[in-house]
Every structure is written in structure tokens, then in C-alpha cells.
Amino acid sequence: MAAVTDPIADMLTRIRNAIRARHSRVDMPSSNVKVGVAMILKEEGYIGSYKVTEDGKKKMLRLNLRYGADGRNVIATLERVSKPGRRVYVGAREIPRVLGGMGVTIMTTPKGLMTGKKARLAGVGGEVLCNVS
């Protein structure tokens, strides 16, 4: 298997593919940033739970996906904003609102990984990783 150049984009693609295929969970290689993104997705109610397991030497991250009572996806869109070829940095005042505040912006800041809303309240900017709605 070829090395992944953008692990966050790979994570988001795996989640999108699992949702389209109506899977209840999705596995991927783990990293601190991916666990941070999973933590935010859980806090915001987009996934049911997440767990880091050790498979020999490799750590794997398992996300349990959520679907509504009518079977609809909880996650409608999941898009990568900042890419390896084009990083997107914003100040605290320029943090974008997703769907007028209905969605979530996930970003890395000097104070760690957080949602755009929390970063705005903390008065810090950073790199916009992705938008979820």
C-alpha cells in the first residue's frame, strides 16, 4: 500500500465512504490529530463513539458512526479545507461559520485542536482542518 500524504484527508474520506456504504463503524490508522478530530466529532454529536486499539505494533482508531432515527446520516458533508499543497490559516476574527453556525469548523490552534466556535471564544486563530455539517 502506498504511503498516505495527507492522513486527515484519508480519515475524512474513510468516514464519507463508510457513511455511503451504511457501515456502523470505520477503522483507520491512529494518530494524535485523528484522535483529536474524533473527540470533537463525538462532542458535537456527529459520531457515537471512538476507541484506540492496538493491533500488534500499529494503533488503530475505530469510529462508531451515528445515523438518525429515520436512518439518515448525521454527517451530511465532511470537507477538507487546509491541504498539504494549500494551507489555510485564519485569525480569530476570520474563522468561518459553517451553515450559519449549524455546522462545525475543526482547527488546530496554539492551544490545541478545537472547534471554530471555541477558538473564537478563546480569541485564537489557526489552521482550518475541515468543515463538518
How do residues 31-79 score in pLDDT, each as one tens digit? 999 999 999 999 999 999 999 999 888 999 999 999 988 989 999 999 9
Q: What's the farthest any 2 CA atoms get from each other in the chain?
A: 45
Q: How many helices (DSSP H) and strands (DSSP E) are in the chain?
A: 3, 8
pLDDT band at 126 (very low <50, low <70, confident <90, very high): very high
Report which secondary-structure segment, H or E, holds 127: strand 126-132
pLDDT at 1 over 70: no
Cell 463525538, residue located: 42
d(CA 17, CA 98): 22
Percent of the chain topping pLDDT 70? 98
Tell how strand 58-65 and strand 104-109 pair up. unpaired
Average pLDDT over every residue of 84-93: 96
Per DSSP, 43 falls in state H
pTM: 0.94
Q: Determine contact, residues 91/119, Cβ cutoff 8 Å.
A: no
